[in-house]
A and B are shown apart, each in its own frame.
Chain A
Amino acid sequence: MRYHATCGGHHAHESPALVFQNVALGYPGADSSVLSGLNLTLDRGRSIALLGDNGSGKSTLLKSIAGLLRLRQGKISVLGHAVGQCHHQVAYLPQHRDIDWDFPISVQRFVLTGLYIHLGWFRRPGRVQRKAAAEILDRLTLTSLAERRINELSGGQQQRLLLARTLLHGADLLLLDEPFNAVDAENRALVRGVLRGLKAEGKTLVTATHELDFGEDFFDARFRLTDGSLTEEGAP
């Protein structure tokens, strides 16, 4: 039994990854919108950066694509579907602080939650899922920590764990909120390599970030959020 809104497997392969039409976004209870007048079309397989100061609305924008915020105005189309209608094709890497890290759950079990979308209600992860989770943990050099509780990891290890879950989701569109957050210099190359691998696989990547340490040509376009609006850097 599938979770809510998995679009029944009806994929609109010809549609762009993302279309924003005159979108306004804000948080429930707040009078003013955080972002307004957003228009954007993003083709599949492209990688874009969302740049801006703290509070400029980068995370808000990602949350709206992930279906976590109701639109105040306009329309967002995600992979040809209304926003929030095709959850299994949209993976979301949240900010580190959005997780209850004190919850008693192991690294291995946490990363397995990335496959729940494919299991749906009542089905438990089996051998196939555990094998897939083990491979992802290995790819992010977390295998030796698999049995640890998530609160026993360092900040950088926790960030890699979130990335591991995002990869296991197996989505076509990945929403990455500060993927380098707390990752030390040694592991930055590892994370960078994984992200470049996703791009090479043809995934669509939308990355909210403060920095541009992703390597040359990683981003196809860069958008800056300023004063509630979105502008492409370098565009005429």
Chain B
Amino acid sequence: MIDWLLDPFAAPFMQRALLAAALAGVNCAVIGVYIVQRRMSFFGGALSHTVLPGMVFAFLRGLDIFWGALGAALATAFGVSWLARRREVGEDAAIGVVLSGMFALGVLMMSQVNSFRDFNALLFGSVLGVAPADLILTAIVTVIVLIAVGLINKELELASVDPEYARVIGARPDRMRTVLLVLTALSVVTAVRVVGALMATALLITPAAAALIWARSVGIAMLLASGIAAFSVIAGLIISYQFDFSSGASIVLASTACFAGSWLARAWRG
């Protein structure tokens, strides 16, 4: 049994996959707690789709897709923020417009290439193909996200629970929101490498949603969500290796199972 669990991680590429996925899982889980609690899951979901044109552009130009995805994610974050602030349209409508436009642009760019199969890694992830340089980038993003959250967690928390009071004391909840959007963009970009553009939302939302069912504070929710994300990554990679399943889908389904278990346990406990 122990061999069955450990064998998948004997090869260096699997070790890199484990580390990259765990780091992406942790930074997504930490940011995801605020995204879920502030009812911004739609934005998180949109972000993972709107990175597509940036990734395709980078792919077609022979650049690292990380930078393409990051550019598109930041453009989405600032675009949605700007549109919503102008008040002509509601934030959910702004997200819907940007999401569909960006995704269609990505599909249009993909259609200029002969085969959609070239883009499998972008859509469904390529965690097994993580290079040492990707791992370093993911680690840097994780450190940035964790330090940023550590520094401004009390303001993020206040801006979430009582944005009016945050404004009254000059803690700038609008800026906190922008910072949160940028951190979300960074996290989603690392998740896209692991599970692909179509499933990156899962790493952002599912572990956090599972943790928030039980957590009594933001800090505990972040720890729990990180644990669930790490467990999902390990379990997903083992299942993917042993049964020859897609690694991204296995990780996402493992986290979905964690959510289902968490929800059922809570419902049973009452």
Contacts and interface: CB of A to CB of B under 8 A. Distances in A.
Interface of A: 2-6, 28-29, 63, 66-68, 87-88, 90, 92, 94, 98-100, 103-106, 109-110, 113, 116-117, 119, 121-122, 124-125, 149-150, 165, 169
A116 B162 contact: no
A117 B170 contact: yes
B154 A103 contact: no
Nearest to A84: B170
26 contacts: A2-B170, A3-B171, A4-B170, A4-B172, A5-B170, A6-B170, A67-B167, A87-B168, A88-B169, A90-B168, A92-B164, A94-B162, A94-B165, A98-B164, A103-B161, A104-B212, A104-B216, A104-B218, A106-B217, A109-B217, A110-B161, A113-B161, A116-B154, A119-B154, A122-B152, A150-B161
B85 to A, nearest CB: 11
Contacts of B155: 116, 121
Nearest to B39: A100
Nearest to B167: A68
A147 B212 CA distance: 17
A115 B37 CA distance: 23
Interface residues on B, range: 20 to 34
- Main secondary structure, interface of B, reads helix
Interface of B: 37, 87, 151-152, 154-155, 157-158, 160-162, 164-165, 167-172, 212, 215-218, 220-221
Contact of B152 (A4, A66, A87, A121): A121
B215 A104 contact: yes
Contact of B170 (A87, A110, A119, A124): A87
Contacts of A116: 154-155, 158, 169, 171
Contacts of B170: 2-6, 87, 117
A87 B37 contact: no
Contacts of B216: 104, 106, 149
B154 A124 contact: yes
Contacts of A88: 169
Contacts of B162: 94, 98-100, 113
Contact of A68 (B164, B171, B217): B164
Contacts of A99: 161-162
